[in-house]
Structure 1
Amino acid sequence: MGNSEQLDPVISQIKEMLKSMHFGSITLVVQNGKVIQLEKNEKVRLK
């Protein structure tokens, strides 16, 4: 499996996370050269 094929599901998941976010961050956790976890930290801005 090529590197591009390994990243396709990661990129798809990141796109889904971004659709529902307005403010915040997404962190990729990498182990042995592979993304093993995505963390979403969303902030809610109060007016």
Structure 2
Amino acid sequence: MKETESKQVLDSSHLGTLEELLSDMKYGSITLVIQDGKIVQIDKTEKYRIKN
């Protein structure tokens, strides 16, 4: 790929999915898996804090 060309990795459906995952998350992480310049998987790891 030339420097002047650009790939769009995020499209509106990806952004909507990310917004939905983030909206109810308090602690955790989201990992994007990229293959050939495209998102092929989104992993969400959520943590729950237990107070003693």
Question: Quick check: TM above 0.5?
Answer: yes
Is there any run of 5+ residues in structure 2 with no aligned partner, and where? 1-6
- Provide the identity percentage: 40
What is the aligned residue count? 45
User: Moved runs in structure 1, 4+ residues, more than 2 A?
Assistant: none
C-alpha RMSD of the superposition? 1.7
Give the number of the structure whose residues are more often helix, by fraction: 1
Q: Which of structures 1 and 2 has the bigger CA Rg? A: 2
TM-score (norm 2): 0.77
TM-score using structure 1 length: 0.84
